[in-house]
Chains A and B, each alone.
Chain A
Amino acid sequence: MDSAKIDQIIEKHRGKSGDLIHVLMEIQHQNHWLPRDVLHKVAAALDIPFSRVLRIATLYKTFSLTPKGRNEVHVCTGISCHLRGANKLLDAVERATGIKPGETDADWRFSLETGSCLGSCSIGPEIIVNGTHHARMTPAKVEDVLKEYP
């Protein structure tokens, strides 16, 4: 965790209570999760109740209050991907990684999330690993794709 960078982000928004989402978003992108003491710092710097920070941090799927694995695997479960068999794809990913959506494996290798529609419905069903799209996936291809991510 790069505390200096996190502090920098917080300083940029000091005193601006309306910037809560911006701050948390930037920290999440930088750090991949939101430690509780950081949430306290944000509350203090933005002069808002800690409960509101916690509320926003738990409300949005993007924010994680626990550390993430090295590779973030996202299975699109938007309606178009669903119609093209996303459920079976998700089953295969769960088998290959050993975890369910929202979980991280014990070796910190994979964190799995599902979520809807990333706007590339035409190439569904797809999984996105660390921002890279793997288009037109089938359950059979899952093992090979995930092998690339140590």
Chain B
Amino acid sequence: MTRLHSATELEQLRAGILSSRNPAKPCIAVCAGAACHGLDSSRVANAFQTEVGKLGPDAGVEVRVTGCHGYCEKGPNVVVGPDEICYFEVSPEDVPEIVDRTLRGEVVERLVFAHPDTGEKAVHMGEVPFYKHQTRLLIGDNIRIDPMRVDDYLAVGGYAALAKALFQMTPDQVLDEVKKANLRGRGGGGFPAGRKWETAKNAPGKDKYVIVNAHEGEPGAFMDRALFTGNPHKVIEGLIIGAYAIGSHRGFIYTRHDSPQLIQHIEQALAQAEEYGLLGENILGSGFDFRVEVHYDVGIFVSGESSALMRSIEGLPPEPRPKYIRTSVAGIWDKPSNLNNVETWANVPQIVGRGADWYAGIGTAGSKGTKLVSLSGNVVNSGVVEVPMGTPLRKIVYDIGGGVAGGKAAKAVHFGGPMGGSIPVSLIDAPLDFDELAKLGAPIGAGGLLVMDEDTDMVDVARYFLEFLTNESCGKCVPCREGMRQTLKVLTNITKGKGREGDIAQLEDLNDVTGAACLCALGRTASDPLKSMLRYFKDEYETQIARGSEGKGSEATGSAAR
């Protein structure tokens, strides 16, 4: 791989890659995303490679092992380009037939999507209900990219935005573009990214840091991993552009230790980017230096909180600091540090490449662009979904998600994991919007959308999230550690049929102090799921408590209860 020394050389390389590829040649993309991998997609991939290998170097078809396609429920997923023929639940035994038919330009009918009610078939991605209602600006490229090959990213236009930023724009212009686009943080805070960048940029000091938060600890959220594992370069490109805008020369990727595939792909991407001169010293001959190092969380939710994350990078226990010490001013080693989520960084190349005006044309007044959503729980089509902001939740759950599994009715949807809230199905027409959902008490958070069916015990769900947080909090401050402990006790008693009169008042009181007095966002929002339950499902709580105080002491019901 030759090092690139200019934007022109980058374009020449890209042209060379494209001209060496035949766009009409069928390409079999096998998904190796987390769920497909768990369904043994590697055997499918191996079978394809063996089968195509038999055809020799002039085979009329090629195989590409890619990251997450998104339709996790129906894995192992295979998409045959260029027409994007989608095959589902593929097994190694299906492989010879797929290869044979593909070479003949035919479709394997039995493996395509068939509507569960009507039997109607959909062959191409644009026809499959799960995909056709989405706007896959970020995750769409996953089917075209082998994460271990940077050339695949270049083939879809990768790093053109970086070249534009470095050579046609000043750092201030890049910053202005991101501010104009009103890109809001995708990690849970929804804070305007441009403003955060500006604070770090203007903070005193020469050393500034940029950080990718790839921790994704929120239970039920898996889209960051799907994006980062499947297209690491998109995130890296966004990071380099951000570093240029802010004036940072050192970046950190903070991710989980428990996904070997993710780690391998990140390391490979960084190495290949460096080989091409897209990372490191004198990027593309621009004079801009930037290097990246990778750090790991080894298993605690609180280290996804930005100030705790920074302590962890320093090698210290992950205890958050209060927000009056802004990390964009004093972060890692007290230097200005700009932290953003994986998905936030992934949005940057397209904002720079296609312009803020284009970006701001997608979404609502307050929430721009598209959002990745991890759709799971009691839903028919679980997977990674990408829709424009403002999309009604009904569309996501029913049109894309296929409704509730098992023919049951939906009861509620939950956003934001342990720091979010549940809303009843009667509010399912609410738009996917930071502010609108926050007003309803179910803030988007990272984007994990949990569908809950009619058998779900809403007391148990609140109890579950609180139990999760009591195990995942750092334990430093009293209202979080003790407040959650006491709240959990009350909820556990209620679910065990030992509710007492006055429990709801007790819960509200505890919630009040926990929400006001905790040191960090984990503690302050720990009371939010319960708050939403008491707002929308109070009668269910009262019923369970009454059952207890009448001495009936029956066990809680629900698909999830013990």
Chain A interfacial positions (CB closer than 8 Å to B): 17-22, 24-25, 28, 48, 52, 55-56, 59-63, 78-80, 82-88, 91, 115-124, 126, 131, 133, 135
Q: Which of A52, A79, A135 has the most CB of B within 10 A?
A: A79
Chain A residue nearest to B468 in the complex (CB): A116
As a 0/1 sequence over residues 217 to 237 of chain B, the CB contacts with chain A under 8 angstroms (1 = contact) are 111111001100000000000
Residues in chain B near residue A121, CB distance under 8 A: 35, 72, 220, 222, 374, 376, 382
B354 close to A (CB within 8 Å):
no
Minimum-distance CB pairs A-B, first 7: A133-B38, A122-B72, A18-B315, A122-B382, A119-B222, A121-B376, A80-B376
Question: Whole-angstrom distance from the CB of A19 to the nearest CB of chain B?
Answer: 6
Q: Jot down 20 A-B pairs with beta carbons below 8 A, ordered by A.
A: A21-B298, A22-B295, A25-B257, A25-B296, A48-B315, A59-B318, A78-B220, A79-B417, A79-B464, A80-B377, A82-B560, A83-B450, A83-B456, A83-B461, A84-B560, A116-B217, A116-B301, A117-B217, A117-B220, A135-B39
Interface residues of A, dominant DSSP: helix
Question: Whole-angstrom distance from the CB of A91 to the nearest CB of chain B?
Answer: 7
Chain B residue nearest to A24 in the complex (CB): B298
Pair A88/B298 contact, Cβ less than 8 Å: no
Pair B298/A122 contact, Cβ less than 8 Å: no
Given the contacts A17-B315, A87-B562, A123 and B220 also touching, CB distance less than 8 Å: no
As a 0/1 sequence over residues 196 to 240 of chain B, the CB contacts with chain A under 8 angstroms (1 = contact) are 000000000000000000001111111001100000000000000
Docked CA distance A122–B382 (Å): 5
Pair B295/A79 contact, Cβ less than 8 Å: no
Question: Whole-angstrom distance from the CB of A115 to the nearest CB of chain B?
Answer: 7
Docked CA distance A118–B452 (Å): 20
Contact of B38 (CB < 8 Å), options: A84, A86, A135: A135
Residues in chain B near residue A22, CB distance under 8 A: 295-296
Pair B377/A116 contact, Cβ less than 8 Å: no
B75 close to A (CB within 8 Å):
yes
Pair B299/A61 contact, Cβ less than 8 Å: yes
Pair A80/B313 contact, Cβ less than 8 Å: no
Residues in chain B near residue A19, CB distance under 8 A: 315
Chain B residue nearest to A88 in the complex (CB): B562
Pair B219/A116 contact, Cβ less than 8 Å: yes
Docked CA distance A17–B285 (Å): 35
Pair B38/A21 contact, Cβ less than 8 Å: no
Docked CA distance A66–B551 (Å): 44
Residues in chain B near residue A116, CB distance under 8 A: 217, 219, 301, 468
Residues in chain B near residue A62, CB distance under 8 A: 257-258, 298-299
Chain A residue nearest to B332 in the complex (CB): A18
B345 close to A (CB within 8 Å):
no
Residues in chain B near residue A80, CB distance under 8 A: 219-220, 376-377, 382, 450
Docked CA distance A135–B222 (Å): 16
Chain A residue nearest to B464 in the complex (CB): A82
Docked CA distance A125–B75 (Å): 15
B14 close to A (CB within 8 Å):
no
Residues in chain A near residue B417, CB distance under 8 A: 79
Pair A21/B295 contact, Cβ less than 8 Å: yes
Given the contacts A79-B220, A119-B34, A59 and B300 also touching, CB distance less than 8 Å: yes
Residues in chain B near residue A60, CB distance under 8 A: 298-300
Question: Whole-angstrom distance from the CB of A73 to the nearest CB of chain B?
Answer: 15
Residues in chain A near residue B315, CB distance under 8 A: 17-21, 48
B259 close to A (CB within 8 Å):
yes
Question: Whole-angstrom distance from the CB of B334 to the nearest CB of chain A?
Answer: 14
B37 close to A (CB within 8 Å):
yes
Pair A117/B559 contact, Cβ less than 8 Å: no
Pair A87/B560 contact, Cβ less than 8 Å: yes
Chain A residue nearest to B296 in the complex (CB): A25
